[in-house]
């Protein structure tokens, strides 16, 4: 036995060495494989799914360059773009071609200004997304962080972008589904019947610079207003009138000479109104359909004899009396409610300043600031001739 054992030692050693070599080399290979596995996109995805197992997996889709993962827990969304080859976490911007980055960023910014008022769009950048993208077949949706918005807002901020809007910007190809829903660019002027709305009105213009400044502020805030203008001032304010209308606002009559109608002969009121309508038509080619009687003074006789819709107000800022920005802003914010018609005058700097501060605040409170016609439309009201309206509410 012993003899046999001694003779076998070299052979056994050789066998052992061979086994050891095989064992270690295979071990080395499997270690390399494990390392590759960890870096690979699929493995990273499995890891992330495990890390987020308390959330619901709502997207897990492979694209040419990355795997898109999204999770939801209650109202909180998280998304990841995982590089297919390396397993690294990426941002959508990483897949924008270097030479197209500027174009891409500008396009996103343009779309934001189209959808949101300036005070919101100014604060949003593709860089401050709330770590959530929705990558869909025909479009992607960017969800933005709203922490920096002032005044703070309730609504969630997001932007839908059709791939056609940013053609050739990405380093990957998107497979568009054959049936493509028609894409509509989100527009901040699209009104919502389910949201609150108020009509802003300005009396006594046109007043050149101040009127135009208010028009600019309205535009920056996706708002519209109705300007009640005095007939005998219209010819001197042609440019202003056209600017007001071009930006989607509307104009009503504020009589020909701003006299108290209650103290006038009916014939004079009627001829004054006709003169105002004529001047306005000559400038714009449009009819005046609303009238705000000076001081809101109207009686049965005036109502019966003028073929117009009378628009008064239920929220008087008394801007002409106080000439104070804070008074106007506070008064409106403390008293405003759905369907109100707010009275101001495009005559004072304090009013211009107030409008600038007020519009973001109203937006943040969920109000759409609109013209009289838009308010009537939102509330499903057909405004009638010879009637006086102080607010416009749904039935
Ligand atoms: Zn007036």
Rounded distance between C-alpha atoms, residue 218 and residue 215, angstroms: 5
Element containing residue 130 per DSSP (H, E): strand 129-135
- pLDDT value at residue 33: 43
DSSP structure string for 36-75:
HHHHSHHHHHHHHHHHTTTSEEEEEEE-SSEEEEEEEETT
Q: Do strands 129-135 and 139-144 pair parallel, antiparallel, or not at all (unpaired)?
A: antiparallel
Q: Compute, in angstroms, the gap from residue 296 CA to the centroid of ligand 1.
A: 8
User: Long-range contact list for 66-73, CB < 8 A, 24+ apart?
Assistant: 66/41, 66/90, 66/95, 66/172, 67/41, 67/42, 68/133, 68/135, 69/45, 70/132, 70/133, 70/134
- In angstroms, the CA 391 to CA 384 distance is 14
CA of 202 to the centre of ligand 1 (A): 9
Q: Quick check: is 345 catalytic?
A: yes
Q: At 9, phi and psi to the nearest 5? A: -50, -50
Distance from C-alpha of 91 to C-alpha of 171, rounded to nearest angstrom: 13
pLDDT of the residue at 192: 96
Set 83, 162, 204, 345: catalytic member: 345
pLDDT tens per residue across span 61-75: 888 889 999 999 988
* Contact by Cβ (8 Å): 264, 238: no
- By the 10 Å C-beta count (0-12 exposed, 13-18 middle, 19+ buried), 89 is classed as middle
Q: Which two tokens stand for residue 227?
A: 């300007």
Close Cβ partners of 382 (under 8 Å, ≥ 6 residues apart): 376
386 among known catalytic residues: no
Report CA(317)–ligand 1 centroid distance (Å).
13
pTM of structure:
0.85
Cα of 277 from ligand 1 centre, angstroms? 17
Q: Which two three-digit tokens encode residue 240?
A: 């202003």
Question: What is the per-residue pLDDT for 298?
Answer: 97
CA 295–ligand 1 middle distance (angstroms): 6
Please tell me the distance from the alpha carbon of residue 90 to that of residue 100, in angstroms, as a whole number: 18
Residues with CB under 5 A from ligand 1 (ion): 203-204, 294
CA–CA separation, 195 vs 204, rounded Å?
A: 30
Q: What's phi and psi for 288, nearest 5 deg?
A: -90, 125
Residue segments in the chain with a per-residue pLDDT below the cut of 70: 1-39, 174-181
Q: How far apart, in whole angstroms, are the C-alpha atoms of residue 161 and residue 129?
A: 14
Q: How many CA within 13 A on the CB side of residue 390?
A: 6
d(CA 72, CA 77): 5
> Residue 216: helix, strand or coil by DSSP?
helix
Spacing, Cα 184 to ligand 1 middle (Å): 41
Q: What is the pLDDT of residues 15-57, one digit of tens each?
A: 665 555 555 554 444 444 444 445 688 899 999 999 999 999 9
DSSP 198: E
- Work out the number of other CB atoms within 10 angstroms of the CB of residue 242: 13
Choosing from 83, 162, 203, 340, the catalytic residue is 203
């Amino acid at each position: 036995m012993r003899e046999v054992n001694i003779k076998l030692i070299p052979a056994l050693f050789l066998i052992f060495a061979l086994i050891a070599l095989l064992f270690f080399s295979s071990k080395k290979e499997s270690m390399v494989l494990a390392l590759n596995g960890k870096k690979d996109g699929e493995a990273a995805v499995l890891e992330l799914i495990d890390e987020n197992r308390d959330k619901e997996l709502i997207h897990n889709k492979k694209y040419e360059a990355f795997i898109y993962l999204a999770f939801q827990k209650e109202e909180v969304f998280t998304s990841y773009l995982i590089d297919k080859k390396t397993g690294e976490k990426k941002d959508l911007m990483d897949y924008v071609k270097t030479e197209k980055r500027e174009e891409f960023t500008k396009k996103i910014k343009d779309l934001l200004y189209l959808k949101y008022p300036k005070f919101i769009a100014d604060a949003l950048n593709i860089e401050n997304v709330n770590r959530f993208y929705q990558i869909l077949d025909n479009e992607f949706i960017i969800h933005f962080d709203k922490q920096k918005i002032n005044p703070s807002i309730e609504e969630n901020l997001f932007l839908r972008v059709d791939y056609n809007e940013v053609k050739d910007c990405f380093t990957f190809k998107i497979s568009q589904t054959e049936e493509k829903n028609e894409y509509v660019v989100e527009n901040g002027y699209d009104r919502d019947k389910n949201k609150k709305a108020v009509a802003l009105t300005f009396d006594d213009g046109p007043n050149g610079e101040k009127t135009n400044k208010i028009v600019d502020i309205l535009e920056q805030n996706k708002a519209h207003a109705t300007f009640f203008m005095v007939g005998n001032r219209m010819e001197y304010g042609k440019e202003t009138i056209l600017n007001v209308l071009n930006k989607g606002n509307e104009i009503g009559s504020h009589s020909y000479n701003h006299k108290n109608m209650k103290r006038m002969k009916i014939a004079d009121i009627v001829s004054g109104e006709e003169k105002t309508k004529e001047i306005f038509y000559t400038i714009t080619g449009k009819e005046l359909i609303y009238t705000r009687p000076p001081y809101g003074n109207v009686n049965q006789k005036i109502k019966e004899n003028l073929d117009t819709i009378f628009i008064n107000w239920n929220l008087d800022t008394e801007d002409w009396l106080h000439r104070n920005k804070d008074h106007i802003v506070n008064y409106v914010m403390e008293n405003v409610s759905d369907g109100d018609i707010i009275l101001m005058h495009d005559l004072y700097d304090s009013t211009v300043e107030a409008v600038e501060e007020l519009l973001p605040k109203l937006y943040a409170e969920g109000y759409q600031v609109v013209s009289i016609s838009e308010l009537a439309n939102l509330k499903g009201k057909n405004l009638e001739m010879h009637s006086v309206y102080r607010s416009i509410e749904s039935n």
